Amino acid sequence: MSASTSLRRGLFALGVALPLTAGLALAQGTPPAAPAAGAAQGGKVVARVNGTDITEADLAIAASDPALQLPSLPEEQKRELLTSYLIDLKLGAKAAETAKVGDNPDFARKLAYNRDKTLLDEYLDQEARKAVTPEAARKLYDETAKNMTPEQEVHARHILVDNEEEAKKIAARVKGGEDFAKVANEVSKDPGSKSDGGDLGFFTKDRMVEPFAEAAFKLEPGQISDPVKTQFGWHVIKVEEKRAKPIPSFEEMKEQVNAYLERKAQQDLIVGLRKNAKIERLDDKGNLVEQKKP
């Protein structure tokens, strides 16, 4: 497990996983989107449909709609597509209104659902923004980092061949004094490291298959292994260095720390609302089957 993975797990361990329901799925989504460009000029009219204005603020709302994300397009093209969409939306909504679509009881239920969902989305975003402060982020990072034990990692080279007999001959050559990197360049079957003299860089134990990792971590710097078999073939390993892997800095982990603070605030909000609510569940005949009181 890498140090950054350990830190991320440590962050989540600080708050015991809370029982989330389907209604809390919103709280586990992506962090709140930043206002789209031009939102500050919300009143500026960008188009007009039968006398009804479409403004920069309308564009900003459309741009934040998950169903309208256009990440690969240039900004001007996005703007044009969103403006066209809003024109069609105004025309279609007016036509639907004339056709009395809104008089349907199902429409009223959908409208109520979407109002509730939008209210909750805004409330969750508001609580997330309040929770993410420089002070809170730094405190969480410091509390998590101080309880971490740095992982050990090694810097190693290897030579990969197809069979044990060939691996034994190579081990004898490099243990006899031949340059390990030069021999790796000549005979190794690993295309990813051959041109670098078999150099694998630094790695933690969990990043390599078990027989290879076990052998590498038993060696001291400068030592060369006997042949080691894995699913990839036969390896001869040389350890160059050993060290304690540095714990990721606050700046490296800031994005994950902030995301944790957001989710934690949102979860706490929903759990608190449920705790203080009277909730009843009914069966298909309308009989009470479950009740929870504050």
Q: Where are the beta strands (DSSP E) in the chain?
A: 45-49, 52-55, 152-161, 199-204, 228-230, 233-244, 279-282, 288-292
Read out DSSP for 111-168?
HHHHHHHHHHHHHHHHHHHHH--HHHHHHHHHHHHTTPPPPEEEEEEEEEESSHHHHH
pTM > 0.75: yes or no? no
| Cβ-based neighbours of 82, under 8 Å, separated by 6 or more | 59, 62, 63, 68
Instruction: Indicate the helix (H) or strand (E) that contains 9.
Output: helix 3-14
Between 164-175 and 180-187, two packed helices, what is the crossing angle to 10 degrees? 150
Return the pLDDT at 72.
87
Tell me the C-alpha to C-alpha distance, in Å, between residue 116 and each of 35, 111, 119.
21, 9, 5
DSSP string over 185-214 = HHH---TTTGGGTTEEEEEEGGGS-HHHHH
Rounded to whole angstroms, the maximal C-alpha distance in the chain is 91
CATH 3.10.50.40 fits 152-244, yes or no: yes
Per residue in 57-110, pLDDT (tens digit) is: 999 999 989 889 888 899 999 999 999 999 999 999 999 999 999 998 899 999
Query: Which residues belong to CATH 3.10.50.40 in the chain?
Result: 152-244
Phi, psi of 87 (to 5 degrees): -60, -50
Closest among 229, 238, 215, 237 to 164, alpha carbons compared:
229
- With beta carbons less than 8 A apart as the criterion, state whether 162 and 233 touch: yes
* Cross-strand bridge partners of residue 142: none
The residue written with tokens 């449920």 in the block is 274
Q: Which helix (H) or strand (E) holds 63?
A: helix 56-63
Q: What are phi and psi of 252, to 5 degrees?
A: -65, -30
Digits of tens for pLDDT over the chain (294 positions)?
Answer: 444 444 344 443 333 333 322 232 323 333 334 444 434 456 899 999 999 999 999 999 999 898 898 888 999 999 999 999 999 999 999 999 999 999 988 999 999 999 999 999 999 999 999 999 999 999 999 999 988 888 899 999 999 999 999 999 999 999 999 999 999 999 999 999 999 999 999 999 999 999 999 999 999 999 999 999 999 999 999 999 999 988 889 999 999 999 999 999 999 999 999 999 998 889 888 888 888 777
Burial (CB count <10 Å: 0-12, 13-18, 19+), residue 237: buried
For the record, the structure tokens of 178 come out as 């031949």
Amino acid 4: pLDDT: 44
Q: Which two tokens stand for residue 37?
A: 């460009």
pLDDT at position 218 is: 96
CA dist., res. 238 & res. 41, Å (int): 63
Residue in the block written with tokens 């001869």: 236
pLDDT of res. 246: 83
